[in-house]
Amino acid sequence: MKKLLLFIFFSLVFIPDSFSQNKDDVIKSDTLNKNKKIQFVAIPIVFYTPETSFGFGAGSQVFLLKEKNIYNDRVSNVFVDFIMTSNKQFIIDIIPQIYFGKGDYFLDMNFKWKLFPNDFWGIGNTTSNSNLESYDMTSSILKVSFLKRLPPTLNFGFEYIYENHKVTKVEEGGLLSTGDIEGSDGAVISGFGAIFNLDTRDNVSSPFSGHLIKMNAQFSSELFGATHNYNKFIADLRTYQKLGKHSIAALQLYYEGNYGTAPFQGLAWYGGGNRARGYYQGRYIDNSLYLFQAEYRYRFKPRWALAGYGLFGKVASDFKELVSFNELKPSAGGGIRFKLLKTQDTWVRLDAGIGVDGSSGVYFGINEAF
């Protein structure tokens, strides 16, 4: 672990801020030139999470400096990464976020392909550690959202969701081998959704002030090629409150509910590097989930920050069971952040978290968890 942390530190300190291809198209340093159209940053990726063990790869982000949201000074960008892990997992992410009409329209896309051996404990909030079994799955995931700005800070739009999950191997004698778990032999999720949000954050990557209220309703239907019919509703509420010149308190309340017959791939998953750090992503799975997390962030230098967090939440089969305060899954932890470019808010973070029942995790990721 010491060697891993040293490698990450030197990668961040000595990473090149950009690469030049054509002097008229690409910025060569952190210094922003108004005549430039593109700014580019590339990073080596080295990390450890409970889901992947050790992982490595490369990522890059291209900023389209002329395609901006003039209302909140956000810049269009495309993020790409290629990752492989010691658990023989392979992941490719392509994430374009493009503003049109000076920010009146927003295209938000996310494509992920992954070959992902994974772990499964069953469905529910009280599954035992002894249920642990392994399975292999190959997934192709595409989400495309298009939003219209409703002045001054409201946004409304629609999205298309397509997920193809192919379960290629299950453990003999395990829960998935029985065929009783929806999605155990694979699943296709395909359908549309509506998005409404109010967003006053000063930036998306690492907000220092503002609020986010996001509501998302989705449905998956056999009419569009899905194997399961079900509906999903998501509410994501965040606020960022300044505590001083260099510190803030960040708060999030997240709810997800699924209604109908959803495969386990489409249910609410508790854990991971963004929601419920300290738990394996998918350690607890069920129809519904809520999570409350609070984080203190202190920028002790312009490009460096420290953070500490605490959270609690749970999954449940229905709303009545969800709102009870039985069997909560709390965790706590913290970490360090580094801003890659002086002129753009792209941060890398290293976090560690500890949950209950022996759960823990170390996470290296891009931008804040929320």
Distance, in Å, from the CA atom of 355 to the CA atom of 231, rounded to the nearest integer, reads: 30
Distances (CA, A) of 257 to 120, 145, 218, 221: 20, 20, 10, 17
Band (34; pLDDT cuts 50, 70, 90): low
- Which CATH code, of 2.40.30.110, 3.60.150.10, 2.40.160.50, 3.30.70.120, is assigned to 2-366? 2.40.160.50
Query: Which one is predicted more confidently, 361 or 313?
Result: 313
Instruction: Give every CB contact of residue 73 below 8 A, 6+ residues apart in sequence.
Output: none
Task: Write out pLDDT tens, residues 6-18.
Answer: 344 444 443 333 3
Q: Give residue limits of the domains in the chain.
A: 2-366
Task: Please tell me the predicted confidence (pLDDT) of residue 17.
Answer: 37
Phi-psi region of 13 (alpha: psi -120 to 50; beta: other; left: phi over 0): alpha
Sign of the C-alpha dihedral computed for residues 345, 28, 91 and 9 taken in this order:
negative
Q: What is the separation of C-alpha 64 from the centre of its chain, rounded to a whole number of angstroms?
A: 22
Q: In the predicted model, what is the mean pLDDT of residues 117-136?
A: 95
3-state class of 317 per DSSP? coil
Task: Please give the single-letter amino acid code of residue 224.
Answer: F
Mean pLDDT for 54-81 is: 90
pLDDT in tens, 160-189: 999 999 999 999 999 999 999 999 999 999
98 in helix, strand or coil? strand
Residues 200-224 have a mean pLDDT of 94
Q: What is the pLDDT of residue 238?
A: 98
Structure confidence at residue 78 as a pLDDT band (50, 70, 90): very high
